[in-house]
Structure 1
Amino acid sequence: MKPTTRGTLAAVVTGVVAAVAAAATPAAASPTVPVPVPLDGVEKSLGVEVPRIGMELPLLIPGTPQGPRFTEGRLLPDRTLPQVPLNGGLPGVGVRVPLPHVLGDGYDHIGIDTPASGLRALTPGLALVAPLTAPDPRHLGMPAPQLPDAGVLAPALRTVVGGDLGAGPGL
């Protein structure tokens, strides 16, 4: 295969991969699974209006943990147990409850809608300091003792929750 053909083929493959990755990113940004609650059988068997309920359950997507950071003068890395980022969301709920008219026939509704919202989290991590220092040339290459130290890296959560409460005619 000629070098120009290989270069053209590589450029086409790179473009196709970039297009597929760009198209897949919005879908993978906050994947949710819709969960309808089937209450039609109750409505038909009892002959009354029942609430309409639906949910969206998010999927958690683990990210790539930050690798350990080695610092000069320490035997163990800075973050011995790194934090793992998780992307997902809070579940969404949609409920419409029938509100019968006091006089006459028909129904109105009261509805609550909270869409699934994005959630970013970091798992806890651990930072340890060894009970020995790094080898010291001033002490014939022997490490010096020191007090061990341990620290917990706090978890973090970030999200924005929204919702809508409304009433209106019809069901």
Structure 2
Amino acid sequence: MKSTTRRTLAAVVTGVAAAVGVAATPTTAAGAIPVPVPLDGAETALGMELPEVAGELPVPTAGAPEGPRYVEGRLLPERTLPQLPVHGGLPGADLRQPLPRVLGDDFDHAAVDVPAAGLRTLAPGLSLDAPLTAPNPGAFGLPTAKLPQVGLLTPMVRTVPVADLGVGPGL
């Protein structure tokens, strides 16, 4: 193979790789990866129209925890073990089932669209306080004893899933 042919082939491969990289970037930035389900071979083998199925898988990302807060009068800071936020999503699906004009001439399919929904979570955290007070000037600068305090910061899950059910023309 000539060197000019090799250079041309290398340029084409580099261009295709760059195009694929650019095309993949918005998907990962969106937080969900599309997952198509190929049923074309089954349609050909069975000789009938099958539903179109596609899905979305979320990409979870960990956030930065909010650090401990120092409060006057306490020896240990609040949120001794901070809560870790994790952002992700619920998986999505898109299903289109062909209908043989059951509902009239304008309705050829029934569809269910459940897009990937955002999900925000916080792991449980812990807040402790020592069994001693801050230095007390009335006791020559020595701390006094008190009951220890322990608090559990509750976990949180927040999401708003949606779905769309409809019928329409075409598949």
Note whether the superposition's TM-score is higher than 0.5: yes
Q: Compared with structure 1, are the counterparts of its residues 66 and 34 closer, same or farther at alpha carbon in structure 2 (3 Å cutoff)? A: same
Q: Deviations over 1:104-140 (max 9, x none)?
A: xxx9211001212222222221111212222323223
Q: In the alignment, does 2:49 pair up with 1:32?
A: no
Q: CA deviation at 1:101?
A: 4.6
Task: Name the structure 1 match of 2:149.
Answer: 149
- Which whole-Å CA distance do the structure 1 matches of 2:99 and 2:170 have between them? 9
The 3-state SS of whatever aligns with 2:108 is: strand
Task: Name the structure 1 match of 2:4.
Answer: none
Q: CA deviation at 1:64?
A: 0.9
Q: Compared with structure 1, are the counterparts of its residues 57 and 148 closer, same or farther at alpha carbon in structure 2 (3 Å cutoff)? A: same
Answer yes or no: is the 8 Å Cα contact 1:30–1:89 preserved in 2.
no
Residues 131-146 of structure 1 correspond to what in structure 2 (within 5 A)?
A: 131-146=131-146
Task: Name the structure 2 match of 1:49.
Answer: 49
The 3-state SS of whatever aligns with 1:127 is: strand
Q: Deviations over 1:74-111 (max 9, x none)?
A: 11111111122222222221001122356xxxx92110
Answer yes or no: is the 8 Å Cα contact 2:27–2:33 preserved in 1.
no
Q: In the alignment, does 2:161 pair up with 1:164?
A: no
The 3-state SS of whatever aligns with 2:64 is: coil
- Which whole-Å CA distance do the structure 2 matches of 1:152 and 1:27 have between them? 37
Alpha carbon RMSD of aligned pairs, Å?
2.3
Structure 1 residues without counterparts, runs of 5 or longer: 1-25
- Which whole-Å CA distance do the structure 2 matches of 1:28 and 1:72 have between them? 44
Q: Compared with structure 1, are the counterparts of its residues 30 and 81 closer, same or farther at alpha carbon in structure 2 (3 Å cutoff)? A: farther
Q: Which moved more, 1:111-120 or 1:133-142?
A: 133-142
Structure 2 residues without counterparts, runs of 5 or longer: 1-25
Q: CA deviation at 1:66?
A: 0.6
Task: Report the number of matched residues.
Answer: 142
Q: Compared with structure 1, are the counterparts of its residues 137 and 30 closer, same or farther at alpha carbon in structure 2 (3 Å cutoff)? A: farther
- Which whole-Å CA distance do the structure 1 matches of 2:79 and 2:125 have between them? 7
In the superposition, the TM-score normalised over structure 1's length comes to 0.72
Q: Compared with structure 1, are the counterparts of its residues 28 and 53 closer, same or farther at alpha carbon in structure 2 (3 Å cutoff)? A: closer
Identity rate, percent: 58
